[in-house]
Chains A and B, each alone.
Chain A
Amino acid sequence: MRRIILYMACLFACASCSREIEVAGYMGSQPEIFPDYRDVTIPSNIAPLNFEFIGDTGRADLVLLVEAPSGVRIIRPHGRLFSFRERMWSELLAETSGRGMIFRLCVRTREGWKAYDPFVMNVAKEPIDPYLAYRLIPPGYSLWKDMYICQRNLENFEEKKIYSNSQGKGNCVNCHSFCDRDPDRMLFHMRSELAGTYVWREGQLEKLETRTSQTMSSLVYPYWHPSGRYVAFSVNRTNQVLHVSDDNRIEVFDEDSDVVVYDLENHTVVTTDVLKSEDAFETFPTFSPDGKSLYFCSSKAVSPMPEKFKEARYSLCRVDFNPEDHTFGDKVDTLYNADTQRGSVSFPRVSPDGSRLVFTLSDYGNFSIWHKEADLYCVTLSNGNISELDWLNSDGVESYHSWSGNSRWMVFSSRRDDGLYTKPYIAYMDAFGMPHKPFLLPQKNPGKHYEALMYSYNIPELVSGEVGLDGRKIADYAHKEKGKQIGYIKQ
């Protein structure tokens, strides 16, 4: 018995020692970590932001001190990876919501523990939508093989496939889109075999044959009307060329494009002259949250392509839309004029509170994911002021983006890390519309995960819940159904 007590006492003493880290000196800089989570702002419902120390300290022991109101927690790494147990992380988030947690990384030297300068993770009170949907696809050229539409629970590390193209006939799947982040109302396209637009709403799948004799292609880039009755689409004749020596490897360009609005009740697309002009390429339609405006990008028609694709610069335009009778206004407002302002707009997305519109700006064209100079900009819709979102931009590509339901979070795709494999970054937009430093989508072991991943995260879309649609159902349906032919109306 005495031996047991002695043993327990020793164990307790050892445990007590390990909880004491006395800092004997300072390194004088912040630690190098991957992902760079230093001084980021995070939501109060995000999965643990595990990270890896990538600084050069040889094999020295490391320890991380996490300071929260309830005290300091000591985290020891696995190798160089600092990972947090989900329960402890949730407690930390709850404790520091509206404030922040301070991280102090210490390294053991001959003189004792030396601390790097601390960094903070600010925890915003506003939560982010709990799911992120994206397509995983190799960042390739014209060919494809395996690709997946996935959903990731942002509150933990669970990732599920909504659809894998191997469940069908290996065909391309693209342009997944949700109505107001609603997991029960989504659509996506399949190309090649089993081609069609697949609409999922009210627990039913519907396959649409969307090529009509009056439109130049099947429906392409979608955006749902907030009512859920309409979806605006572009129709595009798209082509691509491969650069010989430009840093941007590929040029994808439209040789023509229009915008149409699809009525899910009547199975018809409707358009108007301002969206289907002979003299212009219209693309990337987006509805405003009140459903009364349709934003789109428009460039003067350029020919021949690809010789003149640098002359295709897209303005940001707006036209009235009446959801009652699906009619359009005659007057087009121009929020960003590509002719005078010399940039080219793509992916306009209005915040759900209707106050701001964020778009991608590149030097020319509309396929910004292959444009290193592509950055995110913001229009304040009340006054039309345009500002660059400096905190979000990098030397690499910033491109596709989507808003959270509370307009406080934005996820955007970026190639800042290696210049090719797109990753999703999440940024906080405060009440003044100021973006905070973004953070990379957390993973259990982010270094290993992103190093091994041979896919790009494509079209990251925040979703308010789990998508109940599964790949098996889609594949069975795709094989079975022929697809409903849609009609066409021009006003």
Chain B
Amino acid sequence: MVLYAVVLLLMAAGLWLVQEYRFYNMEANDLFLYDRAYLIGTLRQTGGFALLAASFDSQFMRIPFAGPVLVSLLYLAAGCLTASILRRKSPSGVMDGFAFLPAAFMFLCLENDYYRYWGHMAFVAALVVLWSYVHMPEGWKRRLVTGIIAVPVLYHLAGSAAAVFAVGACLYEILDRGVKGLWALAFPAVMAVTAFIYVETSMVSGWTSALTPFMYYSNPSTYFFPLYAWASVPLLIMASWLVSKFPTRRNSQLAAVVAGIAVSFFIAGNLYSKVHSRSNYRLLQEEYLADRGEWDRIIESADRRQPTYLLSYLNLALAEKGQLAERFGYFNPQDVSSIMQPVPNLKYGMSLQSKVYLSWGYVSAARQAAFDANMMTPGMRNPRQLKVLIQTNMASGAYDVAEKYIAILEKTLFYRTWAGSMRESADDPLICGLKASIPPVDEYVRYDGLKGDMEDIAEADPSQRIVKQFLEVYKIMEEVR
């Protein structure tokens, strides 16, 4: 038990070090609602149970260190379940170290923003069912019936990850029984039939989603680590079976375990260094810090060779601290476009714009950006953007629309108080400030360029100090040019 706790803590600490902001982002992309209709609706979806479990889990990830601990628990569970499954084939435990290979690939999945935590949960659910299956009493009829029932049930509850069970259980039986175990081919067959039914009834969008981890992507992506995690399970079962054919000594057992762990860590570490996108991660970090108003930390993390895509958050932080005009030139500005530099990801770009425009008091532009960023979020429930949507709709008098978003946040654990407070927010300084900054004469957003927009807002509400600083710097940059 102590060993497990130590491993858990070590993994959590590692995740905290390299992926801290990823977890806050996961929380913002998977809002769990305490609402009967939402629960029933989600359970009706393919993989709905795993999705609910993932959403429930991820709601806590806004608490520092909760994300790494929860995800480490999942990885530990994946490792232990795999080890236990492998021990059925190779009781000596010689493959125990390699049992962490699926977890290593799961870790790499985190790097893809489009791969949802849902996929993690579904994979572990499939491992749980496979573990239960391999530990059930002998008797081929009972096992056949169990497998045949388990596949479609698991498919509906967890989605395409049921393939891990179907293939794993089939291979397990064939390796165990030889030709006499061929009845287990029924499991992949049932999986194919189930997938066919779900595809034909449009409960799944297509064959690729129906049979592979692509079901768990929010956007089409060519990122194969989830597939490696899945494939590693039957491959490890096969390897365990092969290993069990050879006698092992205690020393070699220990060496194999150590080698397995080393290989898992090597794969995770080596591939991580190759696939890790620092630019993406920095954007996640800046977005989180900006959302929390931690302007000092954004400024502290900047340097003179600040990448251009990070300049916008930095500019915002400097403006919030009243230092924009004074320090803008220090951080590698290219030209006037450095005021509002585009970022290399549409969703992050929209999030950035909603944040910056909101701070300017640019209500309609902030509302548009928040809407689009929210739309890019699976389920269209991104609390950061919903907050902006509530504020901007209230400021522009669209109370009924704001009410719709308030009702969503009121069904969450961590945002319900804030949402409730917005119902009585007639005197809220932010809303009042936003109202004041709406120019009395209508224009079109970005039609006269950014400068024209800033001038309009600054003129409408001279107390908007952020936009005034941006405007000041803009004019300076124009002169420099």
Q: Which residues of A contact B (CB under 8 A)?
A: 138, 140-141, 143-145, 160-161, 164, 166-167, 169-170, 241-247, 249, 251, 306, 417-421, 445, 448-449, 451-452, 454, 470-472, 475
Contact = CB atoms under 8 A, between A and B. Distances in A.
B346 A243 contact: no
B246 interface: no
Contact of A164 (B205, B376, B400, B439): B205
A331 B311 CA distance: 61
Interface stretch (B98-106, B182-190, B367-375): B367-375
A306 B404 contact: no
7 contacts: A143-B350, A160-B202, A242-B364, A245-B440, A420-B401, A452-B38, A475-B205
Contacts of B38: 452
Contact of A141 (B363, B371, B397): B371
Contact of A170 (B200, B219, B438): B219
A472 B200 contact: yes
A258 B403 CA distance: 41
B202 A164 contact: yes
B218 to A, nearest CB: 9
A138 B443 contact: no
Contact of B445 (A164, A244, A470, A472): A244
A243 B200 contact: no
Given A170-B219, A419-B401, A452-B38, A241 B445 contact: yes
A463 B364 CA distance: 38
Interface string B426-449: 000000000000111111111100
B443 A244 contact: yes
Contact of B444 (A140, A241, A421): A241
Interface of B: 35, 37-38, 41, 199-200, 202, 205-206, 219-220, 346, 350, 363-365, 367-368, 371-372, 375-376, 380-381, 396-398, 400-401, 403-404, 407-408, 438-447, 453, 456
A245 B438 contact: yes
A143 B439 contact: no
A472 B447 contact: no
B400 A417 contact: yes
Given A140-B372, A472-B202, A242 B365 contact: yes
Contacts of B205: 164, 166-167, 475
Given A244-B443, A451-B407, A420 B206 contact: no
Nearest to B364: A244
A5 to B, nearest CB: 40
B380 A454 contact: yes
Given A145-B376, A244-B439, A249 B364 contact: yes
Given A170-B220, A475-B206, A138 B445 contact: no
A419 B400 CA distance: 7
B364 A143 contact: no
B336 to A, nearest CB: 21
Contacts of B445: 241-244
9 A-B pairs with the lowest CB-CB distances in the bound complex, closest first? A418-B400, A241-B444, A242-B445, A166-B205, A454-B380, A246-B442, A448-B37, A244-B443, A420-B401
Contacts of B219: 170
Contacts of B446: 242
A386 B89 CA distance: 83
B228 to A, nearest CB: 24
Nearest to B37: A448
A306 B444 contact: yes
Contacts of B375: 138, 140, 143-145
B319 to A, nearest CB: 21
Contacts of A140: 371-372, 375
B136 to A, nearest CB: 36
B365 A445 contact: no
Contacts of B398: 418-420
Nearest to B397: A247
A241 B365 CA distance: 11
A242 B445 CA distance: 5
A162 to B, nearest CB: 9
Nearest to B407: A451
Contacts of A145: 375-376
Contacts of A451: 404, 407
A178 B41 CA distance: 30
A245 B441 contact: yes
Q: Which of A144, A145, A164, A421 has the most CB of B within 10 A?
A: A145
Given A140-B371, A244-B453, A471-B202, 16 more contacts: A138-B371, A140-B372, A141-B368, A143-B350, A241-B447, A242-B365, A244-B365, A245-B364, A245-B439, A245-B442, A247-B397, A249-B368, A417-B400, A418-B401, A454-B381, A472-B202
Contacts of A306: 444, 447
Contacts of A249: 364, 367-368
A471 B200 CA distance: 9
B163 to A, nearest CB: 20
B372 to A, nearest CB: 5
A173 to B, nearest CB: 13
A418 B41 CA distance: 23
Nearest to B444: A241
Given A244-B442, A245-B438, A169 B376 contact: no
A420 B368 CA distance: 13
A363 to B, nearest CB: 14
A419 B363 CA distance: 17
Contacts of A245: 363-364, 396, 438-443
A307 to B, nearest CB: 9
A245 B437 CA distance: 10
B444 A242 contact: yes
A445 B381 CA distance: 21
Nearest to B206: A167
Contacts of A241: 444-445, 447
B211 to A, nearest CB: 14
Contact of A452 (B37, B206, B372, B400): B37
A186 B439 CA distance: 46
B456 A244 contact: yes
Contacts of A138: 371, 375, 380
A417 B220 CA distance: 35
Contacts of B350: 143
The CB with the most chain A CB atoms within 10 A, among B41, B371, B438, is that of B371
A164 B206 CA distance: 11
Contacts of A169: 220
A320 to B, nearest CB: 40
B202 A167 contact: yes
A454 B38 CA distance: 13
Contacts of A247: 397
Contacts of A144: 375
A141 B202 contact: no
Most buried by A among B200, B367, B401: B401
A161 B202 contact: yes
A419 B398 CA distance: 7
Contacts of B396: 245
A244 B444 contact: yes
Nearest to A142: B372
B347 to A, nearest CB: 10
A418 B202 contact: no
Contacts of B439: 244-245
Contacts of A449: 37
A143 B367 CA distance: 14
Nearest to B456: A244
Contacts of A161: 202
A245 B459 CA distance: 14
Nearest to A246: B442
Contacts of B444: 241-244, 251, 306
A419 B396 CA distance: 12
A454 B200 CA distance: 26
Most chain A Cβ neighbours within 10 Å, of B346, B368, B453: B368
Contacts of A167: 202, 205-206
B37 A143 contact: no
A141 B372 contact: yes
Contacts of B368: 141, 242, 249
